[in-house]
Amino acid sequence: MNITESISRNLRRIRNQSGLTLTGLSEHSGVAKSTLSQMENGEGNPTVETLWAIANALDISFGRLVEEEGGGSDKLRNEGEIVCFIEKSTGEPEIEVYSIDLQAGHCKKSAPHPRGVKERVTVLSGIMLVGDADRPRLIRAGESYLFDADIPHIYAATDQNTRAVVFIEYPSKAYSDYVLSTYIDWPITATAWDGVRSALDRALIEVANGIVVRVLPFREGGVRDKSVDKKTLIKELQSLKTTNFLWPLLVLVESDSQGIFVAIIRLGITSCFARSDFRTNWPNVSVMNTTRELAWLAESASVPLDEQKLEELLHYIEGDSWILNSLASEVLQQRGILRLPHQLTGLSDNKVESAGSFMSDQTFSSRINVEHYDAFELLHPAYARQVVALAEDLCEFADFHITSSVIDVGSGPGVPLLMLQELYPHLHFTAIEPDSYAFSCLIDNTENLGMIDVQQIDFLEFSKKSSSVSVITSVGASHHFNTAFMLQKAYTLLQSGGLLIVADEFLSEFSNQSERNLTLVRHHSAYILASMAWVEGEDLPIENRDVVLYRKIKSAMITAQLAATEFKVEQAVNICRKLFTDLRDEGIEKQPVHVVGFFVRFYWLELQAMVAGFDYEVERKTYSRRFNELAHLAGLNLLRHRRVFSTSGSDEFDSGTHVFTFSKPKTKDKCF
């Protein structure tokens, strides 16, 4: 296999594993999409600089792009230079070895490599200027020079041909020490166990009172079988929690390559819903009052259920109502009763096995598995609660004497729209969805529903008379558009006094890419870990494939959350990207074989969204205050804002699921 074929094979495989589209890789690397496409097709003659740019964008070593199967590679030849990959180490840190031949007078310039990369150059023949482009070092045959390669650097031959060997050392992606970790020796005496209980009790209280996460790793174990030690720790934790009260936190006992650890993670709390009846002539007011009560129970997870309420919830979960089905499932799961929504099992049976590869470049389905989204998004915490909040605002602020139709923007497969239609059966909905694959699911889900029309079109291209629409809704889609343009388009379409109601996920405030990646990790891992708090009470079989995946995700998300909390952005992102690749390789797309497998597929959706967010493809979330500013810029007035689910931060505008209700000012309110 020649070098071009090796690059073609490696690039296509690594890009697909990362989840990046060709457009996304082009945006990250600065290499033209057409050039990337040619390279994947085994065409063209890329320069070393081009390959380095691609490797940096994919966060991989240079050698992974050029190596042949079995190691080594053919020579990369460009004018005045020949570079050949020789070998790489398999341990930590990763080291690659290259030979480089330069013609007399030739200077090879190199852009900065990722942070922490070092190079050692040993000249075999000739004389070379090497290192920092502003202050290179002159080294002769037999001499070596070590320098930091995360700055612009050069390799330049003087007046004779020069040959050298280059050793590139990549920084370790492993880490172990955290400020929020307290290492404990495994207790072997009763007195030692008293100390462990004290440490656990303190950690529980610290997290309940505000610290985001505490981890207690144990050095060594009492026995060779880690599962025995884990059961012992779980028993001790249960003894600390045997009260009539509920700790507002998630406690997990897991093991990794270093041993057993206890992770204690703070759960977010919101207070959006009141336990009171609507008094209105609304056509479906009884259903609305039921959904509001269930949303309140979901927010108030420490409130016990009496026998009558438990029977009602079990009845709802087997019914045909999308919104009651999902809310009842969430309330039961929070209280340790693991019941899947009836609607979910029906969807997943029909759709999961047919889930294929991602669709065309730069569409929603290019990064998110739409079949899984359609089937498993019902397990997303607060998924139905956001629809209840939206419906409340619609009831309070809309004038139903003039409101007869609603435009729903970015409907996706349409499940939130089906929930909203149950609460407003008298309204006519026009669902707008541009992605062809999501649109096909939308057609299936809304078939034979006369009050929902569907259109496959980009909202920014949607043609309707200006100032003619009374209500526009959008659930989970505002960040899939150009958000600023979407808000301006809504203003144009809305009539005087018209409403725009947006339910979506927003991040904590950020000002640069590093901060955005940190809040992405905290945000998406919080949804996963909150769900795991509901699943943990189940007795999970050890050898089951879905359970193995569940534990793999759990361990990675705990560690990523810990790294993000301590602002270790590279480690947090690397953990999540590696998990993404591992899950793809381990058959995550297959049909669940155990009840926990349904949750695993939801976690996979969250991970897809997180990694797409790192790459800023499709998932382009902003933060809630910025969203409000963009709406104000578009001319819209904020009527109400609520955070329906908290993922990080205590401020109402911090990250989580939010519902915004805006109005277009009435003509008489305008000041000129």
539 burial via Cβ count (<10 Å: 0-12, 13-18, 19+):
exposed
> Which of the four pLDDT bands, split at 50, 70 and 90, describes residue 621?
very high
Cα separation, 66 vs 8, whole angstroms = 9
- Give me 311's structure tokens: 């029977």
Per-residue pLDDT band for 285 (boundaries 50, 70, 90) equals confident
The answer on pLDDT for 352 being more than 50 is no
Residue 279's pLDDT band (cuts 50, 70, 90):
low
pLDDT of residue 474: 97
Query: What's the CA gap between 18 and 326, in Å, rounded?
Result: 32
pLDDT one-digit tens code per residue, 494-526: 999 999 999 999 999 999 999 999 999 999 999
What is the reported pLDDT for 175? Answer: 44
What distance in Å separates the CA atoms of residue 247 and residue 251, rounded to the nearest whole number? Answer: 9
Region for 476 from its dihedrals, namely left if φ exceeds 0, alpha if ψ lies in -120 to 50, beta otherwise: left
Whether 605 has a pLDDT exceeding 80, the answer reads yes
CATH class, range 79-172: mainly beta
Q: Out of 65-74, 163-172, 367-376, 648-657, which region has the weakest mean confidence (pLDDT)?
A: 65-74
Query: How much is the mean pLDDT over the chain?
Result: 85
Q: Which pLDDT belongs to residue 226?
A: 60
- CA-to-CA dists, residue 391 to 343, 360, 370, 422, angstroms: 21, 34, 25, 10
- Give the per-residue pLDDT at 195: 81
pLDDT at 355 over 80: no
Determine the CATH number of domain 1-75: 1.10.260.40
List pLDDT tens digits, range 537-576. 656 766 788 888 998 999 899 989 988 988 889 889 999 9
* Confidence at residue 227, expressed as pLDDT on a 0 to 100 scale: 63
Joined together, the tokens standing for residue 125 give: 């023949």
Q: For residue 2, what pLDDT is reported? A: 74
CA separation, residue 129 to residues 153, 157, 163, 668 (Å):
10, 7, 12, 73
Query: Which DSSP symbol is given to 222?
Result: S
Q: What's the pLDDT score for residue 283?
A: 63
Q: Quick check: helix, strand or coil at residue 603?
A: helix
CB atoms within 10 A of CB 416: 26
Q: Are residues 563 and 108 in contact, defined by beta-carbon separation less than 8 angstroms?
A: no
pLDDT at 489 over 80: yes
Give the separation between CA 17 and CA 33, rounded to whole angstroms.
18
Length of the chain: 672
81 vs 351, which has greater pLDDT? 81
* 478 vs 618: CA distance, rounded Å: 11
CATH class for the region spanning 286-339+380-506+621-666 = alpha beta
- 534-539: Cβ within 8 A, 24+ apart: 534/333, 534/334, 534/336, 534/338, 535/333, 535/338, 535/596, 535/599, 536/250, 536/252, 537/336, 537/338, 538/338, 538/595, 538/596
Average confidence (pLDDT) over 89-94: 73
Tell me how far apart the alpha carbons of residues 87 and 90 are, in angstroms, rounded to a whole number: 10
Whether residue 671 has pLDDT greater than 50:
no
Q: Which of 102-106, 277-281, 566-570 has the lowest mean pLDDT?
A: 277-281
Q: What pLDDT is recorded for position 473?
A: 97
> Is pLDDT above 50 for 672?
no
Confidence of residue 356 (pLDDT cuts 50, 70, 90): very low
Residue 63 pLDDT: 80
Mean pLDDT in residue range 591-614: 90
Beta bridge partners of 77: 82
Least confident stretch, 216-225, 288-297, 305-314, 409-418: 216-225
Closest CA to 529 of 254, 294, 288: 254
Helix (H) or strand (E) holding 110: strand 107-110
Structural fold of domain 184-266: Translation Initiation Factor IF3 (3.30.110)
Confidence band, pLDDT 50/70/90 cuts, at residue 105: very high
**The predicted structure's pLDDT at residue 537:** 61
pTM, full prediction: 0.81
Is 213 a residue whose pLDDT tops 80?
Answer: yes
pLDDT value of residue 178: 58
Q: Above 70 in pLDDT, residue 248?
A: yes
Q: Which residue has the higher pLDDT, 358 or 40?
A: 40
- Is the predicted pLDDT of residue 54 greater than 80, yes or no? yes
Q: Domain locations in the chain?
A: 1-75, 79-172, 184-266, 286-339+380-506+621-666, 513-615
The residue among 498 and 186 whose pLDDT is bigger is 498
Q: How confident is the model at residue 257 (pLDDT cuts 50, 70, 90)?
A: low
pLDDT at 429 > cutoff 60: yes
Confidence label for 668 from pLDDT (cuts 50, 70 and 90):
low
